[in-house]
Amino acid sequence: MSDRETKLVEQLVTANRILANEGIVDVFGHISVRSESNPEEFLLSVSRSPAAVRAADIQRYRLDCSPVVEIKEKHYVERVIHGGIYQARPDVKSVCHSHSDNVLPYAVSGEQIKPVIHMGTLFWEGIGWFDRYDADGNLLVSTPSEGKALAESLGKCRGAVLKNHGCVVIGENIIAAVMAAVYLDKNAQIQTQSAIVGKPVFIGPEMGKIASRVFHSPLVQERAWGYWVARLPKGWEVDAGLPLAGHAGS
């Protein structure tokens, strides 16, 4: 796609590749970004595994999840996750849905993920819980009613766990959403491991609010983005259809 927001498209493609490379998504999962030129639209790949997303795969959708331009390619059926959250949360600029291995035990057990490491304080306001699938649903969030219900379950939080399914996280930009996805998984891993060793010491909301501020600074976000990009395999830009300098975080 030749999009008027070329830089944003390139960043979104890079985010897909990073999430796959970091093991947060595999065959399934997706990340989107709200349009900077029209906040009533968002950008999202057509139905592709994140590791295979290319610049030409990025399409533009209205907040009701209808494509701005009709194409022959298939769309993600769960794009209602993104549209529902963008409609409910004008402050959200990026949404990521995944089924990362370390979060899944919490989606299955119903145990709550709580901050136990510094990076986990991104979720100091708590993590939502979604179990309001349609009566005739199939554990996918694929209808407008399910998308709306998920947005309500997310509330003002930065993330929510989906019963028997996975999770969703949000950010004030693409980098923040990637960071939230990576460190929700990391925090869940450490929380599980620490429970084996002894009793986890959780970080309370007051300290969490203060400790989380560093992760919203442009300096820290650019540092994280640079680290993840450096870990991508050689030649990934060409495979993704990006110019060699087109993956900058800002």
In our burial notation (b when 16+ CB lie closer than 10 A, e otherwise), range 62-92 reads ebebeeeeeeeeebbebbbbbbbbbbbbeeb
Cα angle 185, 135, 112 (rounded to 5 degrees) comes to 25
Distance CA 220, CA 242 (A): 24
Active site residue 78: yes
What amino acid occupies position 179?
M
Tokens 């490379």 map to which residue?
Answer: 21
Q: Residue 190 in contact with residue 157, Cβ under 8 Å?
A: no
Residue in the structure block whose two tokens are 């650019």: 222
Rounded to 5 degrees, φ, ψ at 87 are -70, -40
8 Å CB contact between 82 and 93: no
Catalytic one among 10, 40, 41, 78? 78
Q: How far apart (Å, rounded) are the C-alpha atoms in residues 116 and 113?
A: 9
Helix (H, G, I), strand (E, B) or coil at 96: strand
Amino acid at position 190, single letter:
I
Q: Which residues are catalytic?
A: 78
